[in-house]
Amino acid sequence: MKNFILPIEKLIAEFSHLPGVGRKTATRYAYSIINKDMQGVQDFASALLEAKRLVKYCSVCGNFTDSDICEVCKKGDRKLVCVVAEPKDILAFEKVREYNGTYHVLHGLLSPMEGKTAEDIRIKELLARVSGDDVSEVIMATPPTVEGEATAIYISKLLKPLGVKVSRIAQGVSMGTELEYVDEVTLGKALNERREI
């Protein structure tokens, strides 16, 4: 079903490019835009352009920032570096509030399937940082997937000769999970990495 209205179709197409948005949701968004006042739509359009224009990568960690060095790098303990795949992962860790170190954003993971090699993600920036700065520990916080595991192992092998402590976030059962629904790989990890209480 087409709307037959070109400007709405174009807007629906743009909204459809957002992550997880299908045609039906995009149509709902587009219709809500038409019902906004002109000022509201102009504010939306400038917010888009401003965000793209002003936001860049932190020169230290690769996180999003609007200055040269991001807030986390300015305030955090640079001896402790948590390596993540994407800037959005930093948001998740910052919510924990127990972590006061800094981050390093790889902007991707090693993936032979997608042709992503060590050159395509920010590994050499991490090595330079560990060699240059006085880093005492690097925490590998790539996701617990095949690509995430492979990337963590690959990077840890490059880091160890530099004499830095390398750790991996723990894997096990999530808080509040019913054990009967936990997959066997996770449960196996939870058993292997059990600790005395």
Q: Contact residues for its own copies (CB under 8 A)?
A: 1, 3-8, 10-11, 13-14, 17-20, 25, 27-34, 36, 38, 40-55, 64-66, 70-72, 86-88, 91, 94-95
In sequence order, which residues have a C-beta less than 8 Å from that of residue 193 and are 6 or more positions away? 170, 171, 172
Neighbours of 14 (CB within 10 A): 14
Task: Look at residue 70 and give its three-state secondary structure.
Answer: coil
**Nearer residue to its own copies within complex by CB, 53 or 157:** 53
Instruction: Specify the residue, 71 or 193, whose C-beta has the smaller distance to its own copies.
Output: 71
Query: Among residues 80, 101, 90, which one has the least CA distance to residue 165?
Result: 80
CB of 65 to its own copies, least distance (A): 6
Q: Are 102 and 77 in contact (CB under 8 A)?
A: yes
- Of 54 and 185, which CB lies nearer to its own copies in the complex structure? 54
Least distance (Å) between residue 14 CB and its own copies? 5
Query: At closest approach, how far in Å is the CB of 73 from its own copies?
Result: 11
Q: What is the 8-class DSSP label of residue 20?
A: T
Check: CB of residue 63 under 8 Å from CB of residue 72: yes
Instruction: State how far the Cα of 187 lies from the Cα of 172, in Å rounded to an integer.
Output: 7
Shortest distance in whole angstroms from residue 39 CB to its own copies: 10
| Identity of the residue, 47 or 146, whose beta carbon is nearer to its own copies in the bound complex | 47
- Is 122 strand, coil or helix? coil
In whole angstroms, the minimum distance from the beta carbon of 110 to its own copies comes to: 19
DSSP three-state, residue 89: helix
Nearer to its own copies, 69 or 185 (CB): 69
